[in-house]
Amino acid sequence: MTRELAFTKMHGAGNDFVVLDGVRDELPDIEPLAARLLDRHFGIGGDQLLVVRESRAADFRMEIYNPDGSQVEMCANGIRAFYKYLRDRGHTDADEIGVETLSGVVRPRWAGENRVTVDMGLPVLEPAKIPTTLASGDGPVLDVPLEVDGVPLRVSAVSLGNPHAVIAVDDPDTAPVERLGPLIENHPLFPNRVNVEFIHAVDRSRIRQRTWERGTGETLACGSGACAVAVVSMLRGVVDRQVTVELRGGELRISWERDDAHVMMTGPAAEVFRGSFPVAEE
């Protein structure tokens, strides 16, 4: 016996998501379903699976699943899509809400014209809390020499709800993302694995970025990664405190006014289509 599972396909700057509504619908066990739903050939297709849940700590709770079934602490592109979904479905009409995630409560705010601003909080710069053993002490972790597969790199690290390794390159388009990305993701220097950004600062107001996401692979965009890239580039002194990060799927605007300020991210959120997917009855 099967039943139809309602879903909505969303994206934020090309980072695409399957959204399931656990407030409105009774959902099956999600973890074993994630790979099937996110498969681009035999399923719906998506970078990650977002699940709407009720929350005791905030207005709603967002669960995030990778194609390998693992859960993720936070996804900045995902939370913009999540918030737009809630508004579109009448779950909320508030211009700002709190969303519980594994990394804490995040507050998206409606910015008009299908754009959302997210308060990403303070960047985590202390190595042990990122976590990474690339360095010790209070941080920041900037330009640490590391050789991967015979390639000498300089790696910076920061957490914006999840860990990121940032590597400056001459041209992200020709960077060996598919070769080095998984090796760095699973490097023992990053005990919780890590997202990997290959970046180039075009000028003081613009950065180009490609991302290898842990548990997923290369994606067209990564919002928390764009925030990490901006923070690292600002700490390195190569960009100003407000920058546009150019990703393969679109652009995000990142602001970090001072070292003790919260990182703010503004970007698009859009619905692609709705449908239903057959799942076996338990």
Q: Tell me which residues are annotated as active site.
A: 75, 222
Residue 25: Cβ within 10 Å count: 12
**DSSP result, 96-156:** B--EEETTEEEEEEEEETTEEEEE--PPB--GGGTT-SS--TT--EEEEEEEETTEEEEEE
CB 156, CB 232: distance < 8 Å: yes
Closest to 216 in 3D by CA, of 27, 23, 18, 28: 18
* Of 235, 170, 241, 154, residue with least CA distance to 202: 170
Sequential DSSP letters for 49-112: EEEEE--SSSSEEEEEE-TTS-B-S--HHHHHHHHHHHHHTTS---SB--EEETTEEEEEEEEE
Sign of CA dihedral 245, 81, 83, 211: negative
- Cα→Cα distances 32→213, 221, 244, 278, Å: 20, 25, 37, 14
